[in-house]
C-alpha cells in the first residue's frame, strides 16, 4: 500500500488482487483501463474468481470489515443519501454505529466519495466492503422497499396506487391527489408539470431548473381521471380527448399565487397534459437575475435611452421574457408610461398596461400595436417580432421617440440582423432604429450548499477548458438534500450583447447580411455566449458541461478565439462525438439467425448492433460502449416459464442502472404469461415471435422520440 495516494483506485485494486492471489496471474503488468467496476469485472475474469471472493480478499488486505448480507438496512441510514448518489458511486448506507454512518462500497480507495458522503450527511462515515454486484442489487431492492413503506403512510401515494375505475375515483381522493401534485411541484421549484401515458400507466414528471425529473407513476385509471379533473379546472372540455386544448386556472401555495397554463394533447394510447406554473408573487429586479456587473451596467445604460429598438434573442425557455419583465420593472415609475403587447400576458405588473393578444377576436400584435402607439407610451414591450408588419411598426415606433423592447427567435445575437432584413424591412430604417441585440441562454447554477472545489484528477472537459482559457473550472457539483442530489439549484443567464455602433449601422444600411462582415464590425461586448459562460465557470457559479450544453459545439472554438489559444482535435470534439456516431442497439440473445435478421434491418435504418449472450455480458457492453440507446431481450423458444422469470429478474438487476428503453421478444408459450411478467416488475413493451421487423423498428423509433 506504499505511496497509495499517488495511485488511482483501479491501480490500487490491481495491486491488492496481485498480492491476494500471487499464484494466479501477475495482472500488475497489465494496463487496465476503464471504470473501477469494469476493472473489477476484468480482474475477476482473469483470476477466475467471483465478485464475493475478491471482495473478501480486498477486505483482508485493507483491514476493512467485509459484509456479505446487505438486507438489514436501517431507514435512518438510507434516508441520509439520495438514490442517484448511491447508484452513481456504487455505495449503500447500511446503519449507524456509534454515530458513524456505515457505508458499503467496493471502492474504499476513493477519498472523494467519502468526503461527499460526509458533506451530504453531516456525519462521519466508515467503509464496509461488499462486491459491486451485491451493492447494485441491494441498492435497487432497498430503495424500492423504502418507497413501498412510505406509500403505506402517505395519503397521496395511497391514492396513486388505487386500482379503482375512473368513475369510482372521482371525488375527494382525486381532488386531494391533484392538489398534492401541484403542491409538490411548486415546493420542488418546478416550472412545468407533465402527465403522460407510459407503458400502461401514467408518468408524472416535473421540470426543475430546465431538467425533467420523474415525480411518480400513476395507474392508468387514475391518470385518466386526474387529467380530466385538471382540464375541467382549466375551463376545457374534460371528456374530449380527441383535439388539443388550452386552459388556465390559478392556485395559492404557501401564500404564493400561481397562474396555471394548461395544455392537453392527444397522443398514442391516451392523452398528455402539461401545466406551466407562473408565479404571480415573483418580484422582477434586473439586479437579482444573475447577470454580471458589466452586463448589468450595459443593460441599464441601454434601457435608459429615450428611444430605440432593443431585441432579445434565444430559444424557448432561455429566459427572454424574465429579462424583459426585469427591464420594464426597472423603468416602471409614475413618470413613465409603459404598455406591453403579449400573447399571452404571463405576469401582471402593477402600474403597467398589458394588452393580451387574441388572434381569434382580431386583436393581433399589429392591430394592438397601432392602437397603443396612439396611447402616448414612453416604453413599448412587444412579446415577439414574428412577421413583417409587426417588425415595421416596432422599427417605426423606435424611430419616433419610443423605447421598444422585443424578442426574436434566432440562434445568436448577430444573426438577428439578417433575420430582420429578411423580413423585408427597409435597411436604412433598421439601421437607424436598432440600438442593441442581446442573446441569452440559461445554465443551471451550482448548489451553494454542496458544491466542491475542483481538484485532481481532472475530467476531460476540465482539461480542455484549461487548454482553452488557461484557467481550471472552480467548482464541481456534489449533491445534497437541498438540491435533491443533483448538485444544482436554480439557474443563471449567460449573455452576449451587441451594441449597434456606427460601423455596424453602415453595414446594415447597405443591406449587408454576411455574418463574417457583421461580426468584424462589432464594437466591444463579450463577443460570444461561450466567453460569457466561461466567466461563470471560472467564478464557480456553474460547470463546463452546463455552458457547453447551452451554447453547443461552437463553445470550444469561440473560447480558443477569445483567449488566443489552440485546442487539439480531441479536446475540441468532446461533445461532437455523441452527435456523429451511429446510435447503437444492444441485443441479448443466443439465436444466430435472429441476430443476423435484426442486424440487417437496423443497419439500413442507421443503427449499430451489439450482441450479448446474457445480462451480465450486456452490462459490460453498456459500460464499455457509448451510444447504446435501446435494449432488446430475446427469450429462447424452449425456455421454461420459471427460468424465463429468473432470467428477467437477472436482467433487471444487471441493467437497471442504464435506464435505457427496452423491448422483450417472447416465444408464443411465454407470451400467454405476459401479465405474470408484469407482476414481477417487467415494464418493457413486448413482441411475440415470429414478429414483424417493421414492428421492431416502430418500437425503436418510438423510444427515440420519447
Distance (Å) of CA 425 to CA 387, 413, 438, 599 = 10, 18, 20, 54
Lowest mean pLDDT among 339-348, 415-424, 516-525: 516-525
Does residue 266 lie within any of the structural domains?
yes
pLDDT tens string 380-437: 999 888 888 889 989 999 998 899 999 998 888 888 999 999 888 999 999 999 999 9
| Per-residue confidence (pLDDT) for residue 582, from 0 to 100 | 64
In a domain, 201, yes or no: yes
Cα–Cα distances in Å, from 480 out to 77, 221, 370, 489, 534?
15, 35, 52, 10, 25
Strands (E), 434-549: 434-446, 452-453, 475-476, 488-499
**pLDDT top residue among 25 and 528:** 528
Indicate the residue among 225, 250, 279 that finishes a domain. 279
Q: Please report the pLDDT score of residue 520 as a whole number.
A: 84
Evaluate whether residue 142 is within a structural domain.
Answer: no
* pLDDT at 428 (0 to 100): 93
Please tell me whether residues 586 and 567 are part of one structural domain. Answer: no
Interatomic CA distance for residues 187 and 183, integer angstroms:
6
Whether 431 and 542 share a structural domain: yes
Q: Are 553 and 579 in contact (CB under 8 A)?
A: yes
What percent of the chain shows pLDDT beyond 90? 23
Three-class SS of 541-600: CCCHHHHHHHHCCHHHHHHHHHHCCCCCHHHHCCCCHHHHCCCEEEEECCCHHHHHHHHH
Same domain as 407, residue 296: yes
| CA–CA dist 629, 586 (Å, integer) | 8
Q: Which domain holds residue 75?
A: 4-129
SS3 of 309-348: the string is EEEEECCCCCCHHHHHHHHHHHHCCCCCCEEEEECCCCCC
d(CA 603, CA 608): 6
Query: Which are the contacts of 299, defined by CB distance < 8 A and separation ≥ 6?
Result: 286, 291, 327, 438, 497
Task: Assess if residue 137 is contained within a domain.
Answer: no
* Strand-strand pairing, 608-612 and 488-499: unpaired
Binned at pLDDT 50, 70 and 90, residue 566 comes out as confident
Q: Find the mean pLDDT for residues 206-226.
A: 84
| Confidence label for 572 from pLDDT (cuts 50, 70 and 90) | low
**Residue 558: pLDDT over 60:** yes
Q: Are residues 524 and 607 in the same domain?
A: no
Percent of the chain at pLDDT > 70 equals: 87
472 with 502, same domain: the answer is yes
pLDDT above 70 (res 243):
yes
Average pLDDT in the 332-354 region?
Answer: 87
CATH number at residue 199: 3.30.450.90
Given a contact cutoff of 8 angstroms between Cβ atoms, the answer to whether 104 and 67 are in contact is: yes
Q: What angle do CA 99, 104, 105 make, to 5 degrees?
A: 130
Residues 638 and 544 in one domain: no
Do 339 and 470 fall within a single domain? yes
What's the angle, vertex CA 554, arms to CA 551 and CA 558, rounded to 5?
100
Question: Which of 572, 593, 619 is where one domain is finished?
Answer: 572
> How far is Cα 656 from Cα 137, in angstroms, rounded to an integer?
9
Going by C-alpha positions, the residue among 192, 219, 212, 214 that lies closest to residue 204 is: 214
Cβ atoms of 204 and 193 within 8 Å: the answer is: yes
Identify whether 197 is part of a domain. Answer: yes
Q: Rounded distance, CA 669 to CA 93, Å? A: 42
Residue at grid coordinates 401555495: 253
- DSSP one-letter code for 447: P
Q: Give the mean pLDDT of 207-235.
A: 86
Query: 607 with 583: CB under 8 angstroms?
Result: yes
Cβ neighbors of 561 (< 8 A, separation 6 or more) are none
**This prediction's pTM:** 0.59
* Sequence-distant (≥ 6) Cβ neighbours of residue 262 within 8 angstroms: 230, 231, 233, 234, 236, 246, 247, 248, 249, 273, 274, 275, 276
| Type and span of the H or E element at 217 | strand 211-219
pLDDT over 50 at 168, yes or no: no
* Lowest mean per-residue pLDDT among 17-26, 40-49, 61-70, 489-498: 17-26
Give pLDDT tens digits for 138-153.
887 777 666 545 544 4
Nearest to 456 by CA among 128, 6, 77, 13: 6
Residues 401 and 488 grouped into a single domain:
yes
- Residue 685: pLDDT above 70? yes
In-domain check, residue 435: yes
CATH code at 294? 3.40.50.300
Give the C-alpha separation, 122 to 124, whole Å: 7
Cα angle 611, 617, 621; round to 5: 65
The torsion angle over the Cα atoms of residues 699, 700, 701 and 705, rounded to 10 degrees, is 90
The pLDDT confidence band at residue 169, using thresholds 50, 70 and 90, is very low
- Residues 512 and 470 sit within 8 Å (Cβ to Cβ): no
Count structural domains, the chain: 4
621-623-626 Cα angle (round to 5) = 85
Q: Is the pLDDT of residue 684 over 60?
A: yes
Distance CA 687, CA 679 (A): 18
CB-count burial class (<10 Å; 0-12, 13-18, 19+) for 417: buried
pLDDT (average), residues 179-186: 91
Does the structure show a pLDDT above 70 at 199?
Answer: no
Range with the largest mean pLDDT of 23-32, 115-124, 183-192, 478-487? 183-192
Domain assignment present for residue 194? The answer is: yes
Mean pLDDT of the chain: 82
The predicted-structure confidence for 533-557, as pLDDT tens digits, reads as follows 999 999 999 999 899 888 887 888 8
Top-confidence residue, 178 or 678: 178
pLDDT in tens, 579-623: 335 678 888 888 887 887 787 777 666 678 888 888 878 877 877
d(CA 468, CA 614): 44
What is the rounded distance in angstroms from the CA atom of residue 424 to the CA atom of residue 418? 10
Q: Locate cell 446594415: which residue?
A: 508
The predicted pLDDT at position 1 comes to: 38
Are 558 and 616 found together in one domain? no
Task: Please tell me whether residues 646 and 553 are part of one structural domain.
Answer: no
Instruction: Supply the DSSP string of 32-92, one letter for each residue.
Output: --S-HHHHHHHHHHHHT--HHHHHHHHHHHHTPPB--------HHHHTTS-HHHHHHHTEE
**134 domain-assigned:** no
- Establish whether the linkage from the previous residue to 457 is cis, with ω within 30° of 0: yes
Question: How many CB atoms lie under 10 A from the CB of residue 704?
Answer: 11
Residue 671 banded pLDDT, cuts 50, 70, 90: confident
20 and 70 in one domain?
yes
Site of grid cell 388539443: 244
| 670 pLDDT more than 80 | yes
Residue partners of 482: CB distance under 8 A and separation at least 6:
447, 449, 450, 489
Beta bridge partners of 310: 405, 436
Q: Which one of 220, 248, 279 terminates a domain? A: 279
Across the range 281-287, mean pLDDT stands at 81
The CATH number linked to 43 is: 3.30.300.160
Residue 464 has pLDDT above 80, yes or no: yes
Instruction: Name the residue with cell 413503506.
Output: 149
Name the residue among 578, 593, 576, 632 with its Cα closest to residue 609.
632
| Residue whose grid cell is 427515440 | 704
3-state secondary structure 602-665: HHHCCCEEEEECCHHHHHHHHHHCCCEEEEEEECCCCCCHHHHHHHHHHHHHHHHHHCCCEEEE
- Report, as an integer, the average pLDDT of 148-172: 47
C-alpha grid cell, residue 590: 443466443
- Contacts for 242 with CB less than 8 Å, ≥ 6 apart: 266
Which residues sit opposite 265 in a β-bridge?
Answer: 272
Q: For residues 352 and 434, state if they share a domain.
A: yes
Interacting residues of 281 by C-beta distance below 8 A, sequence separation 6+: 255, 256, 257
**pLDDT of residue 650 exceeding 70:** yes
CATH number of the domain that 696 lies in? 3.40.50.2300
Amino acid at each position: 500500500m506504499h505511496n497509495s495516494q499517488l495511485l488511482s483506485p483501479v491501480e490500487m485494486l490491481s495491486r491488492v488482487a496481485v498480492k491476494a492471489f500471487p499464484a494466479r496471474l501477475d495482472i500488475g503488468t497489465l494496463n487496465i483501463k476503464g471504470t473501477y467496476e469494469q476493472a473489477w469485472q476484468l480482474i475477476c475474469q482473469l483470476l477466475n474468481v467471483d465478485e464475493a471472493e475478491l471482495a473478501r480478499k480486498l477486505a483482508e488486505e485493507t483491514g476493512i470489515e467485509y459484509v456479505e448480507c446487505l438486507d438489514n438496512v436501517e431507514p435512518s441510514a438510507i434516508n441520509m443519501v439520495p438514490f442517484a448518489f448511491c447508484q452513481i458511486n456504487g455505495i449503500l448506507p447500511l446503519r449507524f454505529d456509534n454515530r458513524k454512518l456505515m457505508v458499503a462500497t467496493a471502492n474504499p480507495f476513493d477519498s472523494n466519495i467519502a468526503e461527499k458522503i460526509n458533506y451530504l450527511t453531516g456525519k462521519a462515515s466508515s467503509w464496509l466492503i461488499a462486491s459491486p454486484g451485491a451493492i447494485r442489487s441491494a441498492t435497487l431492492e432497498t430503495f424500492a422497499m423504502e418507497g413501498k413503506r412510505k406509500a403505506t403512510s402517505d395519503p397521496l401515494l395511497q391514492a396513486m396506487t388505487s386500482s379503482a375505475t375512473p368513475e369510482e375515483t372521482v371525488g375527494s381522493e382525486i381532488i386531494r391527489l391533484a392538489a398534492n401534485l401541484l403542491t409538490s411541484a411548486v415546493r420542488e421549484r418546478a416550472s412545468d408539470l407533465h402527465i403522460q401515458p407510459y407503458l400502461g400507466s401514467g408518468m408524472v414528471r416535473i421540470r426543475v431548473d430546465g431538467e425533467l425529473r420523474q415525480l411518480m407513476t400513476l395507474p392508468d385509471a387514475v391518470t385518466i381521471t386526474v387529467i380530466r379533473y385538471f382540464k375541467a379546472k382549466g375551463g376545457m372540455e374534460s371528456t374530449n380527448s380527441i383535439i388539443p386544448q388550452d386552459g388556465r386556472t390559478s392556485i395559492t401555495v404557501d401564500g404564493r399565487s400561481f397562474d396555471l397554463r394548461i395544455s392537453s394533447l392527444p397522443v398514442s394510447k391516451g392523452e398528455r397534459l402539461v401545466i406551466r406554473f407562473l408565479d404571480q408573487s415573483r418580484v422582477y429586479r434586473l439586479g437579482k437575475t444573475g447577470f454580471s456587473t458589466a452586463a448589468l451596467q450595459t443593460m441599464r445604460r441601454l434601457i435608459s435611452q429615450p428611444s430605440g429598438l432593443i431585441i432579445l434573442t434565444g430559444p424557448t425557455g432561455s429566459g427572454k421574457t424574465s429579462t424583459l419583465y426585469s427591464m420594464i420593472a426597472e423603468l416602471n415609475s409614475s413618470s413613465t408610461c409603459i404598455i406591453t403587447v403579449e400573447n399571452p400576458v404571463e405576469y401582471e405588473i402593477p402600474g403597467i398596461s398589458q394588452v393580451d393578444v387574441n388572434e381569434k377576436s382580431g386583436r393581433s400584435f399589429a392591430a394592438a400595436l397601432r392602437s397603443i402607439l396612439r396611447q402616448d407610451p414612453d416604453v413599448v414591450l412587444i412579446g415577439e417580432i414574428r412577421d413583417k408588419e409587426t417588425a415595421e411598426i416596432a422599427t417605426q415606433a423606435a424611430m419616433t421617440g419610443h423605447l421598444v423592447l422585443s424578442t426574436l427567435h434566432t440562434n445568436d445575437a448577430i444573426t438577428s440582423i439578417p433575420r430582420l432584413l429578411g423580413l423585408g424591412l427597409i435597411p436604412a430604417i433598421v439601421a437607424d432604429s436598432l440600438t442593441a441585440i442581446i442573446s441569452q441562454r440559461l445554465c443551471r447554477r451550482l448548489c451553494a450548499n454542496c458544491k466542491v472545489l475542483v481538484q485532481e484528477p481532472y475530467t476531460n472537459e476540465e482539461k480542455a477548458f484549461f487548454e482553452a482559457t488557461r484557467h481550471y473550472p472552480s467548482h464541481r457539483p456534489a449533491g445534497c438534500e437541498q438540491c435533491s442530489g443533483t448538485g444544482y439549484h436554480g439557474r443563471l443567464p449567460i449573455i452576449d450583447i451587441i451594441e449597434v455602433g456606427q460601423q455596424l449601422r453602415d453595414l446594415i444600411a447597405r443591406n449587408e447580411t454576411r455574418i463574417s462582415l457583421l461580426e468584424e464590425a462589432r464594437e466591444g461586448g463579450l463577443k460570444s455566449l461561450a466567453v460569457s459562460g466561461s466567466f461563470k465557470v471560472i467564478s464557480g457559479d456553474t460547470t463546463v458541461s452546463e455552458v457547453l450544453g447551452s451554447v453547443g459545439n461552437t463553445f470550444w472554438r469561440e473560447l480558443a478565439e477569445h483567449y488566443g489559444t489552440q485546442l487539439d482535435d480531441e479536446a475540441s470534439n468532446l461533445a461532437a462525438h455523441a452527435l456523429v456516431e451511429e446510435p447503437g442497439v444492444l441485443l441479448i440473445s443466443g439465436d444466430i439467425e435472429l441476430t443476423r435478421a435484426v442486424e440487417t434491418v437496423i443497419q439500413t435504418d442507421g443503427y449499430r448492433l451489439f450482441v450479448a449472450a446474457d445480462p451480465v455480458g450486456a452490462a459490460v457492453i453498456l459500460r464499455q460502449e457509448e451510444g447504446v440507446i435501446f435494449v432488446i431481450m430475446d427469450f429462447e423458444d424452449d425456455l421454461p416459464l420459471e427460468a424465463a422469470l429468473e432470467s428477467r429478474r437477472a436482467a433487471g438487476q444487471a441493467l437497471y442502472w442504464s435506464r435505457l428503453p427496452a423491448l422483450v421478444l417472447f416465444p408464443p408459450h411465454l407470451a400467454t404469461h405476459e401479465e405474470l411478467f408484469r407482476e414481477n416488475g417487467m415494464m418493457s413493451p413486448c413482441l411475440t415471435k415470429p414478429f414483424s421487423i417493421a414492428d421492431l423498428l416502430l418500437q425503436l423509433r418510438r423510444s427515440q422520440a420519447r
